[in-house]
Structure 1
Amino acid sequence: MESRIHGLPFIKKLIAILLAFGPGIFAIGYTIGTGSVTSMIVAGSTYGMQLLWVLLLSCIFSGLLMFVYGNYALLTNETALFAFKKHLKWGKWIAILIIIGVSFGQWNSLMGILGISANIIFEIIRIYVPGLTDYQYESVLIIAILIIVLMYALLLVGKYSFFEKILVVFVAVMGFSFLISLLFVYPQPTEVLQGLVPSVPEVKGGKMMVAAFVGTTMAAATFLSRPLFVKGKGWTDKNLKQQKKDAIIAACLVFLISGAVMAVASGALFHQGQPVSKVLDMVGTLEPVAGKFALTLFFFGTLSAGLSSIFPCLLIAPILISDFQSGNLDTNSKQFKLITAFACLFALIVPVFGANPIEMQIVSQVFNVFVLPLVILGILILVNQKKFKKVYRTKLIINIGLIAALFFSVVISFNGATALFQYF
């Protein structure tokens, strides 16, 4: 195997390495989208690196939850919501509530993601073809329709391995674009260290931003879909170590890429006193600092973040419903095709009405935190039931981590509810 990979060109070798990560690539796709990028840019440009600690904690807990959900699936051959329904008291209604909450949050995000992605493509083209400015609405709408039609066509292929390869391309472009952008503009090392000390900006929107950070980085959809993607990969209880490694790598990459976005915004804009409220504001503010090449590179990263999120967001509702019904995802079923088609039409709402998706994008990230305590509590109970202990005894350190994650999610949910109350 090693000799075969060694003979491949560099790009093919890189893709082979990325594919070896497994279902973690979906976790990165779910987690880092234009909503996440927007949150990181707004935070970096407004607060510097002050919220880096929130990102770090969210990624640590995300890695833990991916590991626990993946382990449970490999050891029991049961998926998340199916296990909730089968083993938990009131599990059926808890599962239904989670399906509604997660799907609502992801579809709301999908509207914003498609709108922002279409606008980013338009802005990249406009940098080199300024004459398109007079046809912005028409151009953005056509781009949005082309994107969503292409994504739906790719979904109809209906194979896990194909989905994985598409996401590998998007995630690789996104990661390298943001990390290379970091070479052009970066914060001081002391600011990075200070950002690891817990503090909340005592300004309007500070609490909202903290909740949005957790909502986008510690996303319930990532953990709930993990068992189905692990099964789709063909892993069994013989792949426990590989599953653990995959969860750790995914969490580290989410922290590295998201941190790079925040750092670029902080280094370029925070000290210039130029906070941004939307990604597209960076066209005018980042270019003088980093140059046209760095700007284009950063926007390609942001676009890849959007495209890598559209794909999993379209999948989330049929994934959760299939999980609840049988614990198996049939991507060739009529149900799958109808739900994803409806999601595609739903995603076009923002581009069709020409609305500004940015503010609602951040608000939708906050809504994602409210189902998080249920998702963590559910798996905490499952892995400590007598039936499961006969198969695998959950370590004390894992239980402590899950309890800490539950406490963190409850605090953030309360914080998010307070922020939304103040917002509305």
Structure 2
Amino acid sequence: MPTTKTKKSLFKKILALILGFGPGIFAIGYTIGTGSVTSMIVAGSKFGMQLLWVLLLSCIFSGVLIFAYGNYALITGETALYSFKKHFKFGKVLAILIIVGITFGQWNSLMGILGISSNIIFEILAINFESLRAFEYQTILIIATVIIITFYLLMLVGKYTFFEKVLIIFVTIMGLSFFLSFFFVQPLTIDVVKGLIPTIPNVPGGKMLVAAFVGTTMASATFLSRPLFVKGKGWTINNLQQQKKDAITASILIFIISATIMAVAAGALFYQGTEVTQVIDMANTLEPVAGKWAVTIFFFGALSAGLSSIFPCLLIAPLLIADYQSGELDTNSKQFRIITAVACLVALIGPAFGANPIEVQILSQVFNVFVLPIVVLGIILILSNKKIMKNYKTSLGVYIGLFAALFFSLVISYNGILALLDY
């Protein structure tokens, strides 16, 4: 029998492994938020596992891009937007367009995230205090305000390691919650296999979901912020192998967690012919199978996904602007405080107008795909420039991955335009 001492040392080892996870935790924080959870659940409830192939391709290309941007930072010591501005003829315009595009997408996303997180907390409270239903709008707005003020105050603590630890806690709770949910409901194996064959659902909203899927899984913010987080971790050219492992681990975990969420929704809702249109529908994913206990597990997963995304979404604009200016992020600066305060106010727009957070969330993910081809093309041009890269040669495999990612992003952007025109 294992002794208490052995158990403790095993627990310490697991804890050290989780806390030892590098900047890849930010990739998961950016990628699997309520945007991802919403897209996966809506897709799982509408189409079962039919869009699994989109998720798989997005995660493979994400891994390549996280690796490429991280490597570039370690080899040259430069960050992404600063490099675009410095090395390209139209680099300034390009960098500003990227900042505006990504900030617009992420702040929109923040509205949806805050709306969904507040709705989830409201539903948990309403289960126990039925009288709150009469004051739904007011309660949700108060909850949203408390959440965003709390996160703003936490932002002012402003240390990379602090953000990393908070994110690790949320991402771990989220992952465990969805895995627990998966044991209650699973899709059919044949549907999982069929889901790996590329098809786009020929129904209203099918194109929109494909674009939202890619917008949330291949998030430009993840790749552009990678050099800053790698530098924030204190990594140098000696950590190239560590950076590679971190990028691979992040993309694998993004796929596993996202696919689990889709599978849970497919198993619980798709076979019953139930679709998700409101936040409470997401909570009902497991109620028929496992009662209120499963709903609570699922709620905590979705809430952790939301909260793990608020930090990265608030950080994105100051990160990109700092990157453009000098390649360094100063979390104690006046600029940082003002920009994050504006982001907090924008986040409250959705809850204040009582907008349907699920619609807001999916629309914001679609907007993310339009910046993606520029971000992929940017790293290809930088890596193939001998003057910048000096003696370092990028492998053929990485180039194949990057060009495939560029083609994929162009196809999805075109698909996103069609989706918005239909909408």
Fold conserved between structures, TM > 0.5? yes
Residue-by-residue CA offset, 1:18-75 (whole Å, 9 max, x unaligned): 2222100000000011111111001001100000000000000001100000000000
TM-score (norm: length of structure 1): 0.96
The equivalent of 2:318 in structure 1 is 318
The equivalent of 1:202 in structure 2 is 202
* Matched residues, number: 419
Is residue 2:141 matched to residue 1:141?
A: yes
User: Does structure 2 conserve the Cα–Cα contact (< 8 Å) formed by 1:75 and 1:391?
Assistant: no
User: Does structure 1 conserve the Cα–Cα contact (< 8 Å) formed by 2:111 and 2:360?
Assistant: no
Matches of 2:364 and 2:121 in 1, distance apart? 23
User: Does structure 2 conserve the Cα–Cα contact (< 8 Å) formed by 1:38 and 1:278?
Assistant: no
User: Residue 279 of structure 1: CA displacement?
Assistant: 3.5
The equivalent of 1:57 in structure 2 is 57
Residue-by-residue CA offset, 1:346-365 (whole Å, 9 max, x unaligned): 11111122221211210110
- Where 1:324 maps in the other structure, the secondary structure is helix
User: Residue 289 of structure 1: CA displacement?
Assistant: 2.2
Residue-by-residue CA offset, 1:222-250 (whole Å, 9 max, x unaligned): 00000000000000000000000001111
- Counterpart of 2:312, as a letter, is P
Q: Between 269-278 and 377-386, report the one with greater CA deviation.
A: 269-278
The equivalent of 2:399 in structure 1 is 399
User: Residue 310 of structure 1: CA displacement?
Assistant: 0.6
The equivalent of 2:283 in structure 1 is 283
Matches of 1:387 and 1:287 in 2, distance apart? 59
Residue-by-residue CA offset, 1:255-282 (whole Å, 9 max, x unaligned): 1111111000000111111111233213
Change (3 A) 1:151 1:14: farther
Q: Between 277-286 and 326-335, report the one with greater CA deviation.
A: 277-286
- Counterpart of 1:54, as a letter, is V
The equivalent of 2:241 in structure 1 is 241
Change (3 A) 1:421 1:11: farther
The equivalent of 1:27 in structure 2 is 27
User: Does structure 2 conserve the Cα–Cα contact (< 8 Å) formed by 1:45 and 1:275?
Assistant: yes
The equivalent of 1:408 in structure 2 is 408
User: Does structure 2 conserve the Cα–Cα contact (< 8 Å) formed by 1:274 and 1:285?
Assistant: no
Aligned-residue CA RMSD (Å): 1.4
- Where 2:332 maps in the other structure, the secondary structure is coil
The equivalent of 1:38 in structure 2 is 38
Is residue 2:105 matched to residue 1:105?
A: yes
- Where 1:182 maps in the other structure, the secondary structure is helix
- Counterpart of 1:268, as a letter, is A
Q: Between 9-18 and 414-423, report the one with greater CA deviation.
A: 9-18
- Where 2:242 maps in the other structure, the secondary structure is helix
User: Does structure 1 conserve the Cα–Cα contact (< 8 Å) formed by 2:174 and 2:300?
Assistant: yes
Is residue 2:103 matched to residue 1:95?
A: no
- Where 2:394 maps in the other structure, the secondary structure is coil
User: Does structure 1 conserve the Cα–Cα contact (< 8 Å) formed by 2:265 and 2:285?
Assistant: no
- Counterpart of 1:244, as a letter, is K
Residue-by-residue CA offset, 1:162-186 (whole Å, 9 max, x unaligned): 0000000100000000011000001
Q: Between 35-44 and 270-279, report the one with greater CA deviation.
A: 270-279
Counterpart mapping for 1:82-231 below 5 A: 82-231=82-231
Unpaired runs of 5+ residues, structure 2, are none
The equivalent of 2:384 in structure 1 is 384
Matches of 2:284 and 2:86 in 1, distance apart? 54
Matches of 2:391 and 2:148 in 1, distance apart? 44
- Counterpart of 2:222, as a letter, is T
Matches of 1:300 and 1:355 in 2, distance apart? 22
- Where 1:197 maps in the other structure, the secondary structure is coil
User: Residue 208 of structure 1: CA displacement?
Assistant: 0.6
User: Does structure 1 conserve the Cα–Cα contact (< 8 Å) formed by 2:181 and 2:297?
Assistant: yes
User: Does structure 2 conserve the Cα–Cα contact (< 8 Å) formed by 1:38 and 1:358?
Assistant: yes
User: Does structure 1 conserve the Cα–Cα contact (< 8 Å) formed by 2:65 and 2:223?
Assistant: yes
User: Residue 128 of structure 1: CA displacement?
Assistant: 2.4
User: Does structure 2 conserve the Cα–Cα contact (< 8 Å) formed by 1:117 and 1:303?
Assistant: yes
The equivalent of 1:361 in structure 2 is 361
Matches of 1:206 and 1:158 in 2, distance apart? 40
The equivalent of 2:71 in structure 1 is 71
Matches of 1:13 and 1:171 in 2, distance apart? 18
Change (3 A) 1:313 1:11: farther
- Counterpart of 2:175, as a letter, is G
The equivalent of 2:18 in structure 1 is 18
Matches of 1:7 and 1:288 in 2, distance apart? 36
The equivalent of 2:265 in structure 1 is 265
Q: Between 385-394 and 169-178, report the one with greater CA deviation.
A: 385-394
Change (3 A) 1:406 1:341: same
The equivalent of 1:372 in structure 2 is 372
Q: Between 133-142 and 295-304, report the one with greater CA deviation.
A: 133-142
User: Does structure 1 conserve the Cα–Cα contact (< 8 Å) formed by 2:177 and 2:297?
Assistant: yes
Residue-by-residue CA offset, 1:357-407 (whole Å, 9 max, x unaligned): 211210110000001000000000100101244231001111111000000
Q: Between 207-216 and 13-22, report the one with greater CA deviation.
A: 13-22
Matches of 2:10 and 2:302 in 1, distance apart? 24
The equivalent of 1:274 in structure 2 is 274
Change (3 A) 1:337 1:206: same
